[in-house]
Structure 1
């Protein structure tokens, strides 16, 4: 294209964490510009945030409804191309549905919606409109996660037998929601976060990573959810036994009361011929463990990696790439596909790989099934969609 794509944003104003991450990621490749926003439900904060981001006053809106309606009436060469939604979970569905109804493509921070039914409605709308939707499951953007996925897909590990995935954090080891921590306040509030806390927040990341790398689908689970910190309303810790559609078994552990841990997401996948290990806090490294050969260490930037991994690598070997670059890869792939769609051409095959509405549905189903299993006396709960 001979222009940048134009982005609008709902949420993400002054003081918000994830909104700034999205803007950095969107800006990383120089293909996107932020042109409008409804950045806060507080008019004063929305105005202040708009000024900080150099938005035109007339395009710094106080509500997403006003923004979508007015943007849709602008000339085609001025209005936003897509809307990014970075609000708490309960405020994902309405702006996404309204944006799609008005012809705008959508980016949504994970999870896709507040309920499974809402996710299904979004899928139906996406199919009706033919518009694109990016769901920012960040960890799918790492080059070495792409490498792991494609090595499994190419059969290098043989049939997958076992998957171990864990995501320990320690930031909710205290009742931080009562001490003025805004992130903790809404994430532990059932009215804004949903029916699950820890599993809905980071457990879904772990489940998505397990399915993404292995290419398998969870079919059954057995969950144990816990509220460890007294006075908390939602689970802050949990363990889940998993069964996959090829007969493989697995274990998923997610905890936000693992004192001292930061974001220690790690996955191990074992097949007939060997296994692999990847950790988010050391993302440039993929460890391959072979049954009859020495351990192999693969690093980002090597010319020996798969084309998918190299497509999502940004720097020469030895230069660290991390969370922001992975986020940027999701935006770049989405942007390449959207630009191609606007121009009526085919996007590069590697760019088609980004999470969308189907992953969103499975994420919401994971939450529902984990909570149901945690309340059940049955050992195994079918993974129902």
Structure 2
């Protein structure tokens, strides 16, 4: 058998954007071989999809239980080593728990679970194994985001005093203003999505990014959520004030009703000497702002960047790298961990990041419903 990592996928079948993203990302460094999975809740659809991407139907299973039982019967050097969980939120916990307990490594879409309690149970299960667990906060894989992190660590900004993340989308507008649609889509159904839509979907990206690049942890939040209609139970817009360690203050503004916006994610970190700004829709530009000096624009692939940034860059300067490359860098980090190679812990988001994301969701919702008060995150 090939020495590539054999992996499977749960979900991500026909017409799935996220499925294509994961499959392409896994192939970038030539480290993985997709061998099977459960691509749809309908077994026939799953088999048809597998054939459409050139995959044998031999290891296309009816459900996760069938996958685990069948894979564990195979010789160790042939079975799946890692499984990517790309299903709707409410299935993440059950699937990830079964996989961890059966000895598989897991790459899980965010939010990691639908409740913080589930996340803590997953974490306890992981501690009993040697499995690797990654949560795909994809944007941490961009070369210039990693450069941003390294510049903060090196002291280029001085003492951090302000963090700011704005993540605006407009995709839910046609849904939210149609009473029939907003009562039928899974993202606005608490039974499938959890207690939050906007904060869980993109707010956790903002939290993770601010903590990743600043090196500081959010300690407490004060949130104001927007539901637009009284019969809608899920937030679609949020403004959240942050208090971080060492007296740092910040804000997260997220919206899925920002009319006309596509995927506008802007991250800003300000120190007492300089500031940094990065925009997801123009990911190759990192803006370095020093007091009293001209604006500097840093780009990937140049020798002035950090080792972490350069190791995440696949193309020469001037060639754009995007979301597939970012996800590919996360898959590559997981591969290094599975192969027990030396790797930087910041090369992929971990179970800890997933835990903090779930705590953030619950505390943000709690803050709003308690009258917009400060609520502490768990350590």
Same fold, TM exceeding 0.5?
yes
1:301 maps onto 2:301 in alignment: yes
1:219 maps onto 2:219 in alignment: yes
What are the ranges of 5 or more consecutive residues in structure 1 without an aligned counterpart? 341-346
Separation of aligned partners in 2, 1:168 and 1:302 = 30
1:234 maps onto 2:228 in alignment: no
CA contact (8 A) 2:165 2:267 kept: yes
User: What's 1:244 paired with?
Assistant: 244
* 1:146-184 superposed Cα distances (whole Å, 9 cap, x missing partner): 0010111111111100011100000011226969989x9
What are the ranges of 5 or more consecutive residues in structure 2 without an aligned counterpart? none
3-state DSSP of counterpart to 1:349: coil
State the Cα distance separating 1:58 from its structure 2 match: 2.5
Separation of aligned partners in 2, 1:251 and 1:143 = 24
State the Cα distance separating 1:55 from its structure 2 match: 2.8
3-state DSSP of counterpart to 1:175: helix
1:86 maps onto 2:80 in alignment: no
Separation of aligned partners in 1, 2:151 and 2:97 = 37
3-state DSSP of counterpart to 2:292: coil
User: What's 2:45 paired with?
Assistant: 45
CA contact (8 A) 1:7 1:80 kept: yes
- Alignment partner for residue 359 of structure 1, among 347, 350, 353? 353
State the Cα distance separating 1:328 from its structure 2 match: 0.5
User: What's 1:172 paired with?
Assistant: 172
Separation of aligned partners in 2, 1:58 and 1:237 = 44
User: What's 2:146 paired with?
Assistant: 146
Separation of aligned partners in 1, 2:94 and 2:371 = 36
Deviates more, 1:39-48 or 1:64-73: 39-48
Supply the RMSD in Å over aligned alpha carbons. 1.9
Separation of aligned partners in 1, 2:227 and 2:64 = 35
* 1:239-272 superposed Cα distances (whole Å, 9 cap, x missing partner): 0111101101011100000000000000111001
1:103 maps onto 2:103 in alignment: yes
User: What's 2:36 paired with?
Assistant: 36
State the Cα distance separating 1:233 from its structure 2 match: 2.9
Judging changes above 3 Å, is the alpha-carbon distance between structure 1 residues 2 and 73 closer, same or farther for their aligned structure 2 residues? closer
Judging changes above 3 Å, is the alpha-carbon distance between structure 1 residues 207 and 297 closer, same or farther for their aligned structure 2 residues? same
User: What's 1:343 paired with?
Assistant: none
3-state DSSP of counterpart to 2:200: helix
1:1-385 to 2 correspondences below 5 Å: 3-175=3-175, 185-228=185-228, 231-340=231-340, 347-350=341-344, 353-377=347-371, 379-384=373-378
CA contact (8 A) 2:264 2:281 kept: yes
TM-score under structure 1 length normalisation: 0.94
3-state DSSP of counterpart to 1:174: helix
User: What's 1:344 paired with?
Assistant: none
State the Cα distance separating 1:133 from its structure 2 match: 0.6
Separation of aligned partners in 2, 1:61 and 1:45 = 11
